[in-house]
Amino acid sequence: MRTLRPQYPLSLLCRVLEVSRSGYYAWQHRRPSKRAQENVRLEVAIQAAHVRTRHRYGPERLQAELRADGFPAGIGRIKRLRKKLNLRCKQMRRFTTTTDSKHALPVAENVLAQTFVATRPNETWVTDRTQRAKKDSMVTELRKLG
């Protein structure tokens, strides 16, 4: 009604929506309900907990976090408010071991024997292997050090 008020007369809006004029004015000047006020406080607490937990907690873990902060709320209410605030948790990838140390393949011998001091140029080379997660794959970077 509030959005249509500038375009149409109040008497027409009240008749079409089957609302009395006095009911409209009472609604317009009414304070927010106790539940609406609690929801506003809970929204602030949910946003703070969401940031504090680095966007990792879902509604169940977030409920325990909020309860510890003094904001008891049900899962459904937390889900509804998170949806309203467009908050989603980031899924953590499980760590998977990619190295099989118990294979039967030959292993190169350790020619450096943990002595990393070179006596002449180009005697010892060291590289750095870094893996970074990209959208759908892993990217491996090899860099020459030194």
pLDDT tens readout for residues 27-75: 889 999 999 999 999 999 999 999 999 999 999 999 999 999 999 999 9
H or E stretch covering 80 = helix 75-84
CA–CA distances in Å: residue 145 to residues 45, 66, 101, 116: 47, 48, 26, 13
CA-based radius of gyration for the chain = 31
pLDDT digits (tens, 9 = 90+) for 121-139: 887 776 666 666 666 665 5
CA–CA distances in Å: residue 61 to residues 39, 52, 79, 90, 112: 19, 13, 12, 13, 49
